[in-house]
Structure 1
Amino acid sequence: MAVPGKRMPKKISSASTLGSDEDIKVYCQPCDLDGPRLPAHGYCVDCREHLCNTCLVAHKKHTLSRHHTLLDKNSMPQNISSASVHQRQPDNFTKPCPKHKKEMIKFYCQNHEALLCSVCVTLEHTGISCKVNYIPDISGQIINSKDHQDILKAMDTITEQCRKKSEDVKKITAKSNSSLTDILADIKKFRKEINQRLDELERQAEDETKTIQQENNKNLQIVQTTCDDVTKSLKASSDAIKHLNISKQADKLFMELKLAEQMIKDYEKHVPQSAAFDSKQYNFVPNKAISTLLDKARSLGALTEKSLKHPGEICVTTSKIKDKCGISGMTLLTSDLLIITDYNNHAVKMVDTCSQSVTDQLQLDTEPFDVTSVTTTKLAVTLPHTKNIQFISVSSNKLKKKQTLRVAGECHGISYCQGKLVVSFVRPANLQILDINGTILTTVKGENLFSRPEYVTTNTYSIYISDWEKKIITKLNWQGKVIRSYGGFMSEPYGVTLSDDGNVFVCDGQIHVIAKIAGDCSTGNVVLKDLNRPYAVCWCAETSRLYFSCDTGKDKHDNFLRVFKLS
């Protein structure tokens, strides 16, 4: 007979070893571990535990156990040992959790659009903060659904983009190599006019040209490899989706579609960046001093990039505005759709770069400073005076205000990449990395680091900040660590934008130039000079065009965007 006050052992070998009616009575096992001994009113087949009435009710409500098989008092095993014969039925979950390798994915979080295992739900997606569904409860309508068709269509679209991008890069590389071949001919022609003393200098010039050709071919191979890898991944996923849909395996199809959906988002964001390729063309500029002063010559000539050409300007003033424009920020949604912030007129404008006109204008209650594209249909704008970030939707070529996000300071520059917002603050001077809901992931600050960080631009690997007072461009990694800074000839660095080859274009209003800084911040040079106080800037990889605004206080400059093309 059990002694009052002592716990019943967790497992008993058989009912025949018990000594009385009290001993064969089955008790709640969870309560037996730490609490009063209570009679069992049911049994969980999955957990293989007897439960009292309170534990039974809780078991039905908890996210991780609400789908377990429960037996009532009349159906439950009458001793703990016999409960072991009720083995858990095999389920249809075979996709392991990427975070918890030994657990299978069984749940889906609506808030975070994430597939989860039971450990993920317990640790990161509780019922209080997230809406978590058991996959079989929501997967019933996925077979031949619109989501199924849309995801397959998106996969096909990206595959076609990769094919076209690969073809474009081949054509660009051919043009660049053709220009370099012409250079070799010019070198030979020039070489015939001078004597044998220039043999060594000729070899040096030829080697430089061939090195660039090799780099072009190397870059071409990298782009082709990237596109091939994306295509293979998408095909494998697409085949799996089609098979699961035909075989009507809803749970697996649902999970595969969600994984494919995330894959599509990643590829849509990164494939254009990784596949974008700007193979420069070159001219050979002979060294005139060689003709008369061969003994003083130090080189045969120089390879130079073809210069930027000025194809035109876009008027961005409208009948709705009262003051001259103050274009303080800009971002591209597509190659022919530019979004700009007009600080002076409290407006965000949509500019069609093909028709060179403002097609829509959204009035705000305060001055907008900078803008970034979150998706092709969603923008984020900094409002420094109210210390907010305003989200704006783009639908049917119309701009519409959505929710606002409160931030802790006078926000200026903003850039979106990899699901994160990077925001620069001038008061207090710091930089923050936030998720899309406004949760601060990293804060970077310090008197020796920032003084007045105006603008920020990002890519997959790095963050670049222009500091107006320190007169430098600073490069950070995504952990907030400073990698390097470039000052050089900088005087008043303002707007910054990244080219597709990883270089940084920066406006300097004091010396009236736009400079190109190497991605590692080691060197820099002026690419456009004699400008009218360039302020905000944006690069379009598809058209090789550079857009920038001016800040002079004069209508004839500030009401227009300047457009330069790299030929």
Structure 2
Amino acid sequence: MDTNFSASQTQDSDDVQEMYCEECEKHDDRYTPAVGFCVDCVEYKCVNCLRYHMRHYKNHTVEEKNTMPQDFYFEKCSSHPKELIKFFCSECEKTACQECKNNDHKNCCNVSHLPTLAKDIKTSTELKSLKENLDKLSNDIKDTKNKLDDKCATMDSLENEAKATVKMHKDKLIATYKQQQNEIIDNFDKKMKETIAKLKKERKVLVEELAEKQSKFKLRISDEEQRTVKAVENSNADFKTLRKKHLALVDDLKKLSAELVQAQPLGLNCKLFLTMKFTERICEKLSQNMQEFQNNFIHHYKVEPKIESKQSIQSLETTTAFFSYIEIHKSAVERTATFHSDIKHLFYGMSSLCLLNESTLLATDYDRCSLAIFKITKKTSQCYDIIELPSEPWDITKLTDNKVAVTFPNETITRLFRSPEAMIRLITFSDLMSVVNTNDIRVSPPCHGIAYSNNNLIVSNEENGTVQILDMSGRIIRTIGKDSNGKPLFTKPWYLVVSPDNTTIYVSDYERHTVISLTVDGKVKAIYKDDQLKHPRQLTVDESGAVYVCGRWSYNVHQLSSDLTKVKILLNKGQGMNSPMSVAYCKNNNTLYVGMRGRNIEVFNLK
């Protein structure tokens, strides 16, 4: 690789007139005086190296110590530290060692041995010309220095004059700027006084305008308040009137009862007769009043602000209504459930529950092919009887106070062929709850859920994913299975129930995790699906229209409004829900019964 001219790397200077053997220095790292020079190899060699070299390279030209090049250059190559710089390339204007020459200058035509080039340098025209140029350059530098000194003196004078001019003008500009600033401040102070006087006058007008607007705003919001309060008071008016009517009748009854008691010992038979008739009439009215009071629901409502309190004055002025009076449907009122008792009867395959009356609860046991009858009292509930059935019962619904309908999805026509057939069995009980009559209705298998409405049976069929309305002989009146787009509505519609007004059918789909509400002509009203409801089973409704559905694998019971809006999770695992399968509601006792697989039936009071 080429190198630039630099300080010696192997010798102190070119004044040292002894050359060492390059072979010994390169391979043995020792310095042995050279006694000869190989012109062909361009290398200085000691006695031994020269002897071996001449033996192997007899045709090489060798110069002895007195005739070999004496103008030595001892710099080492920066790229090849063991190689001396021995060549100069006139084309590249660079020095080179043997390696650099072979590699970097192999295509150059004018690479010469450096000592040979330098042999006659002292008497060369090039050196003489260089010295003359150096002398001329030295004189030019001296001449230039004198001229620069004169110019610097001139520049110093100009600089001093310019600095003085700048400072003087700067002082004048600062003074002018300060003066104009003072004038600006004075003008501003004058305008400020004028503006303050004007603003004070405008403020007075503004305060008067705002006071008038505030008065109107207060009047508007007060009117809105009165209308809202009036709506709230009207919600309670019926109950207040009913209560006054009830109290008046109670007072009349007390008075007539006292007169009736007084007339008996006095022998005033006529007065006693009339008092008796009046008392009977009052008792009849009081009974009607009591029934009216019991049948009336509380009007639930809520009042909410229609706008946020932090509004701009423009928004407040343009708002037409500040409060919203929202009536809450009776079915959407939250209920609370508290544990009352449990019915100690273990069910392994509980399918459904049914309240025959306030004192009788029925439960189907699918695995045991049986129907359990429970006697219900205010304090306890106990098993009354177990009825063995010919096949697995699924769902049960009340027809009358002594009659129920039970579905049997896996009934068979004959024992011989065991052809699959589903059955609806109508069971009639005596006053002592013994079976007095049964009537079978054959339907397409498998028939699961069942409800009774307007002298019709409503059943669900898992195989074809439909809900069917049947007359009491089993004839199909209507089949519901598709939505308005022709898509299937159900996958496993295992249970269903009808609303208190017989206008809505609620169906739980075990596989789709949904509850669907339908009109009796098959139109979908609403669909309830919630992440917290898994595999819904039996569902029931109360007198307000609220729907209660048990989620078997979500371990809870959901309370829904009549339009299938989620009201709350009424019962959960913390309240004992473990694989709830069935649910029934008792209106008279305001009680919810929940049956769980492999466990007792839990009884809860609702408030």
Q: TM-score range by the shorter chain?
A: 0.3 to 0.5
